[in-house]
């Protein structure tokens, strides 16, 4: 069992290295392995190709790695917290909160004549999305302090999501063509819109979120048996819940803010990890989800570049079959 896990972890790591290399090679201009290596290590390389590799592809691949790890770990946390196999980072309203922030920024501001406001433009789409998702999660977290039943919080998250969608639709309906296009493009998701200065912020937030998720590995194992069991085995449930919500904001909130709503990775990848590793222990599942998430998003990025599709459509087409298979195969998972 232990050896099987070690081999699987090794295989996943090798796969990440291979996909990372392929991701650097493919795109509108094909670049060979040797040239990629030269550019990254500062060797002899065509300066234009070197610029493409370092400024565009390397950035995008790093974002894909961070986003893949962040989304799948937050998905695993949500599934354990809500004891629901169909929970993902978006059920809590991360996506809807981010959408609201962006909608208010792109669609709402011009409606009230604020399009040229320097405060708003410096805030940026990413900032608006971050504030939006953090606000919704803060609301859900506040409510969860007072409500003991986790299912109520789940339903609440869904209701907030629906309410926000309605508001976003009103904004869309009232908006001009140009602003509408900007918003729709954001909803399709992109791994390539992160600037160098933003990358540090994204990396810092996601790594902090991952560290918190490692700290709640044991609490999450206890929560597998349900809240009553977890508490009688010495778990501080409020603290655990707060930590998981904080971690999710940092992971899924940040990813959504900078890459748009990248769907289905958070929901599907933890199941993929369960299937591959045949394990429910978070000491195995957490790194397994993280690595599988990185692989899937690198893969999605490669496919989206080869077919020139928005990354969100690729993650959906990859994720949905996994989710359907999980639901059909096993009716009492998690």
Could you list the residues that contact other proteins (CB under 8 A)? 215, 217-218, 221-222, 224-226, 228-229, 231-236, 274, 278-281, 283, 330, 332-334
Name the DSSP letter for residue 27: S
By beta-carbon proximity to other proteins, the closer residue of 200 and 229 is 229
Min CB(30)–other proteins separation in Å: 42
Q: Rounded distance, CA 135 to CA 147, Å?
A: 18
Contacts of 142 (CB under 8 A, 6+ apart): none
Smallest distance from other proteins to CB 320, Å: 21
Q: Could you tell me the smallest distance in angstroms from the CB atom of residue 251 to other proteins? A: 20
Give 56 or 237: the residue with its C-beta nearer to other proteins: 237
**CB of residue 143 to other proteins, shortest distance in Å:** 20
- In angstroms, the CA 87 to CA 151 distance is 11
Distance (Å, whole) CA 228 – CA 236: 11
Residues composing the chain: 334
Cβ of residue 287: shortest distance to other proteins, in angstroms?
Answer: 12
**First-last CA distance in the chain:** 20
At closest approach, how far in Å is the CB of 280 from other proteins? 4
How far apart (Å, rounded) are the C-alpha atoms in residues 166 and 106?
16
6/176 with CB nearer other proteins: 6
In whole angstroms, the minimum distance from the beta carbon of 205 to other proteins comes to 23
Nearer to other proteins, 86 or 334 (CB): 334
- Confirm if 188 and 312 have CB atoms less than 8 A apart: yes
Nearer to other proteins, 226 or 321 (CB): 226
For residues 78 and 157, give the distance between their C-alpha atoms in angstroms, rounded to a whole number: 12
Residues 6+ apart with CB under 8 A from 1: none
Q: Which is nearer to other proteins, 205 or 285 (CB)?
A: 285
Least Cα distance to 315 among 163, 153, 89 occurs for: 89
CA 288 – CA 28 distance, rounded (Å)? 32
Q: Which is nearer to other proteins, 142 or 278 (CB)?
A: 278
Min dist CB 158 to other proteins, Å, is 24
Least separation in angstroms between residue 321's CB and other proteins is 19
Give the nearer residue to other proteins in terms of CB position, either 13 or 236: 236
Residue 233 phi, psi dihedral angles, 5° rounding: -100, 15
Concatenating the DSSP letter of every residue in 220-282 gives HHHHTT-HHHHHHTT--HHHHHHHHHHHHIIIIIHHHHHH----SHHHHHHHHHHHHHT---H
Helix, strand, coil % in the chain, rounded to nearest 5: 80, 0, 20
Angstrom distance (rounded) from CA 83 to CA 223: 8
Residue 50 CA to residue 194 CA, distance in Å, equals 19
Nearer to other proteins, 188 or 333 (CB): 333
Closest CA to 247 of 214, 212, 221: 212
């Amino acid at each position: 069992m232990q050896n099987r896990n070690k081999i699987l972890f090794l295989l996943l790591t090798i796969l990440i290295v291979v996909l990372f290399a392929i991701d650097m090679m493919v795109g509108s201009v094909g670049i060979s392995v040797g040239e990629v290596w030269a550019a990254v290590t500062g060797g002899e390389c065509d300066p234009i190709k070197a610029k493409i590799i370092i400024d565009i592809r390397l950035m995008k691949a790093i974002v894909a790695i961070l986003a893949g790890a962040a989304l799948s770990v937050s998905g695993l946390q949500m599934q354990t917290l809500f004891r629901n196999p169909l929970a993902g980072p978006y059920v809590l309203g991360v996506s809807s909160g981010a959408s609201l922030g962006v909608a208010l920024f792109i669609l709402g501001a011009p409606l009230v004549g604020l399009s040229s406001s320097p405060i708003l433009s410096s805030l940026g789409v990413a900032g608006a999305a971050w504030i939006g998702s953090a606000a919704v999660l803060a609301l859900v977290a506040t409510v969860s302090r007072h409500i003991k039943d986790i299912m109520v919080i789940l339903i609440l998250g869904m209701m907030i999501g629906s309410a926000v969608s309605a508001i976003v639709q009103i904004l869309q309906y009232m908006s001009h063509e140009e602003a509408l296009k900007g918003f729709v493009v954001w909803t399709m998701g992109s791994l390539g819109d992160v600037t160098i200065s933003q990358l540090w912020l994204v990396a810092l937030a996601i790594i902090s979120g991952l560290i918190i998720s490692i700290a709640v590995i044991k609490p999450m194992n206890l929560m597998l048996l349900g809240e009553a069991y977890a508490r009688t085995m010495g778990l501080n449930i409020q603290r655990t819940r707060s930590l998981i919500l904080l971690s999710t904001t940092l992971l899924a909130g940040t990813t959504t803010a900078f890459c748009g709503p990248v769907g289905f990775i958070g929901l599907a990848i933890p199941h993929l990890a369960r299937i591959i590793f045949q394990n429910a222990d978070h000491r195995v599942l957490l790194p397994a989800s993280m690595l599988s998430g990185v692989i899937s998003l690198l893969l999605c990025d490669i496919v989206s570049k080869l077919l020139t599709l928005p990354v969100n459509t690729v993650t959906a087409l990859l994720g949905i079959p996994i989710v359907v298979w999980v639901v059909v195969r096993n009716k009492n998972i998690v």
